[in-house]
Structure 1
Amino acid sequence: MRLPLRLLFVFALALACRAGLAAYPDKPIRIIVTSAAGSPLDAMARMVGKLLGPELKVPIVIENKVGGTGAVGMAQAMQLPADGYTLVTATGSTSFLMAEAKSAYSPEDFLFFRGLQAEPSSMAVRADSPYRSMKELVAALKATPEKVSVGGFAAAGFHQYVYYRLQQEAGVQGVWVPFNGGNQAVLALMGGHVQAAGITPSSALPQIQRGELRLLGISSPQRDPNFPDVPTYKEQGFNVVEEIWRGLMVRKGTPPEALATLNAALDRIEAMPEWKTFMADNKQSFMRLSSAQMQKHVETEVKSRRDFLQALGSGGK
């Protein structure tokens, strides 16, 4: 029995599509990094690229697209096909961007398919700073807030949110100076342009290890085993417990088969000694969330950040 020509065409097209999906990936994959070169997010993406390329047997291209707390990188991704060949870094700061009233993006635009790292915020000062505890820094903010500026990555992002929580707890106000990367905030702190910096500890590991910077407090629930001598905000009288995450997202509409291939490769990478060493050296924690759990985590986080943005006058959807 001969099939009609139309059915033969449909059948051939289906086979071609199936073959195309099975071949993924068959060309270079781009990872758009939404923070500055040298930042913890950039370091994570570059290590992923280094290990992912051999796993998938295609080149991995890293592109830094800085600006707008990730909006610049997301805008580029939205102009490219949802085919699994463009990955975008995402962090807890991405949730803040998506919670803004005028944000062009929401969790529905992307699939947050992988969480790779989690890390608390910390408050850092120079070694020669007169402040030796969070209480001393807070006392200075109460006495002369105009003389104590605090900087960190992004405006209305994770670290400013932690600082906002601290101000609420302590009943103080202070100046926040935003930077395009945590490493840039560290350079500003080292140069004396800000008196303290709200940063992830990994942003300043060399300076901390050399004794050039001192951590006054950390926003983990308990003392971080990577920094056992640093007291938490909470044990110093300020109930501020927050951690930032880092991971990867793709445009919504990316084929499930491509995501399955990426997730399987990342499973293998997270089991590698080289990745485990990288995580330990950079004082990072594993997340161990499925793609569905990661998506839900971001959606919940976006909702929780809106009150903060409304308090800053940034609105909230």
Structure 2
Amino acid sequence: MKKITHTLSVIALSVASFGSMAAGYPTRSIEVVVPYSAGGGTDLVTRSFVDVANQYLPKSAGVVNKTGGGGAVGLTEIAMARPNGYKIGTGTVEIAMLPHLGLVGWDATSFTPIARLNAEPAAVSVSADAPWDTFEDFIAYAKENPSAVRIGNSGTGAIWHIAAEALGDASNVTFSHIPYNGANPAATALLGGHIEAVTVSPAEVVNHVDNGTIKILAVMSDKRLEKFPEVPTLKESGVDLSIETWRGLVVPNNTPENVITVLSDVAQKVTSNPDFTQTLEKMNLTPAYLPADEFQDAINKDNAFFAQTMTKLGLTN
């Protein structure tokens, strides 16, 4: 009986200590995991967020890139982290995609959303010296030369891979899909002539567009982008396809409510701060804040959409 009483006392003390630690959160630095390489859109959004968030946090947050598996490595680290608020991360649309490939041991319900920060459509981009000046020319060549067009993506099963697969399906074209550990390496491969196109977001190639080394042929959105008004949508070319990525702050399930409250409050302040929104806009990234409940609804909607889409494309496991 004494042993049982002692055990219960230890458990109670541990719970009390954890609760006390959470109540004073944060008492030490916070690690923010980015599941993609430095320089890509997810990395840029996260670093911009953290820079401003540190104005509101009593202890600093820092970014750590954990790449691999089309986001699987980093997202798994976030999902499996100790739920105390000291290892959090940037969740991406792959949360609603990778589980359907059977490559991860978690699903879309394995994360607690804090806030969505940004959303971007996919785009079809080629090198500036490519022989195609329009999307129609590009697709015509791909149809005449099955599998000759190599499209780079940010990893097998990641959003830009699915965008390219869906593009091929909607256009009745067969592409060769080449995975990289993030959008930035894919764009670098395009510049090096190792592939013919990428289906990453406009923001992830904008610097190359500005310096005249890459051109965007079409965007996968419902309407033209304000920042790229000269670039047509796929729908204008008769391809009914819209696909976007999103990035937002997420934590492991079972994170204490008071920690979630702190992070949610910081996220709301950051996304209302011009230092954050203007930084994103300067990088041609689109601020797209959603609070936790609306962010959860968006995740649920995408989870259902990609389950259906990936099944149709024969990509589910």
| Superposed pair shares fold, TM > 0.5 | yes
Structure-2 separation of matches of 1:41 and 1:76: 16
1:1-317 counterparts in 2 under 5 A?
Answer: 19-316=20-317
- Closer/same/farther in 2, CA of residues 171 and 196 from structure 1, 3 Å limit: same
What is the one-letter code of the residue matched to 2:301? T
Secondary structure of 1:292 counterpart = helix
Secondary structure of 1:168 counterpart = helix
What is the one-letter code of the residue matched to 1:129? A
Question: Do 1:88 and 1:248's aligned partners in 2 also have CA atoms closer than 8 Å?
Answer: yes
Question: Do 1:153 and 1:180's aligned partners in 2 also have CA atoms closer than 8 Å?
Answer: yes
Structure-1 separation of matches of 2:108 and 2:11: 35
- Closer/same/farther in 2, CA of residues 12 and 248 from structure 1, 3 Å limit: closer
- Closer/same/farther in 2, CA of residues 104 and 16 from structure 1, 3 Å limit: closer
Q: Compute the TM-score of the two structures, normalised by the length of structure 2.
A: 0.90
Secondary structure of 1:202 counterpart = helix
Question: Do 1:186 and 1:197's aligned partners in 2 also have CA atoms closer than 8 Å?
Answer: yes
For structure 1, which segment, 46-55 or 35-44, has the greater mean C-alpha deviation from structure 2 after superposition?
Answer: 46-55
- Closer/same/farther in 2, CA of residues 170 and 13 from structure 1, 3 Å limit: closer
Report how far residue 98 of structure 1 moved: 2.3
> Which residue does the alignment assign to 1:3?
none
Report how far residue 207 of structure 1 moved: 0.7
For structure 1, which segment, 144-153 or 245-254, has the greater mean C-alpha deviation from structure 2 after superposition?
Answer: 144-153
Structure-1 separation of matches of 2:13 and 2:151: 62
- How many residues align? The count is 310
Structure-2 separation of matches of 1:262 and 1:137: 45
Structure-2 separation of matches of 1:21 and 1:183: 37
Report how far residue 62 of structure 1 moved: 1.4
Report how far residue 148 of structure 1 moved: 1.4
Q: Report the aligned-residue RMSD.
A: 2.3
Report how far residue 13 of structure 1 moved: 8.7
Structure-2 separation of matches of 1:37 and 1:53: 20
Report how far residue 285 of structure 1 moved: 2.4
- Closer/same/farther in 2, CA of residues 120 and 75 from structure 1, 3 Å limit: closer
- Closer/same/farther in 2, CA of residues 238 and 27 from structure 1, 3 Å limit: same
Report how far residue 12 of structure 1 moved: 9.2
Structure-1 separation of matches of 2:77 and 2:49: 20
Q: Compute the TM-score of the two structures, normalised by the length of structure 1.
A: 0.90
Q: Percent identity?
A: 25
Structure-2 separation of matches of 1:148 and 1:10: 60
Question: Do 2:79 and 2:106's aligned partners in 1 also have CA atoms closer than 8 Å?
Answer: no
Secondary structure of 1:26 counterpart = coil
Structure-1 separation of matches of 2:18 and 2:135: 59
What is the one-letter code of the residue matched to 2:54? G
Question: Do 1:101 and 1:314's aligned partners in 2 also have CA atoms closer than 8 Å?
Answer: no
What is the one-letter code of the residue matched to 1:193? H
